[in-house]
Amino acid sequence: MRPTSQLKHILVSAVGDLLPAPKSWVVNYVVRHRRKQVPRWNIPFAVPLRAVLRAGRTLSWRPEPLVADDLAMLQYTGGTTGIAKGAMLTHGNLCANILQAQAWLGDSFSDEPGTLITAIPLYHV
């Protein structure tokens, strides 16, 4: 991270952090110590994801009003043209993608809950 970065928070997670125990322990151990796929890291001011999740257990959730220009997610690029980067997608971007799919699918698009494969895969940012 560069000192002039606009990032306010950095969360670092291991491969198995979101898996249930004991599977998470086994996966993280194998990836780090057996396969040696993840080197030891030291990022100043980074907070482990598990610590954030642990701290968040005591908080209550409250919904925030959404605005189309609000950041919805950071979609990481594949890094095919260099280092992988986080592309900032707004709620408006995601809604536009859904509206594109709705226009493309026409009458076969439904308001019923279900799964939708996007017209332009989000991982090709």
Residues 114-123 have pLDDT tens digits of 776 655 555 5
Confidence of residue 47 (pLDDT cuts 50, 70, 90): confident
Task: Give the three-state DSSP class for 119.
Answer: coil
Confidence of residue 68 (pLDDT cuts 50, 70, 90): very high
Q: What per-residue confidence (pLDDT) applies to 91?
A: 93
* CA 72 – CA 91 distance, rounded (Å): 5
Task: Give the three-state DSSP class for 47.
Answer: strand
Chain-centroid distance, C-alpha 86: 9
Average pLDDT along the chain: 78
* CA 7 – CA 73 distance, rounded (Å): 14
Strands (DSSP E) found in the chain:
11-12, 47-48, 71-76, 86-90
Phi/psi of residue 101, nearest 5 degrees = -65, -40
Q: Is pTM beyond 0.85 here?
A: no
Phi/psi of residue 30, nearest 5 degrees = -65, -45
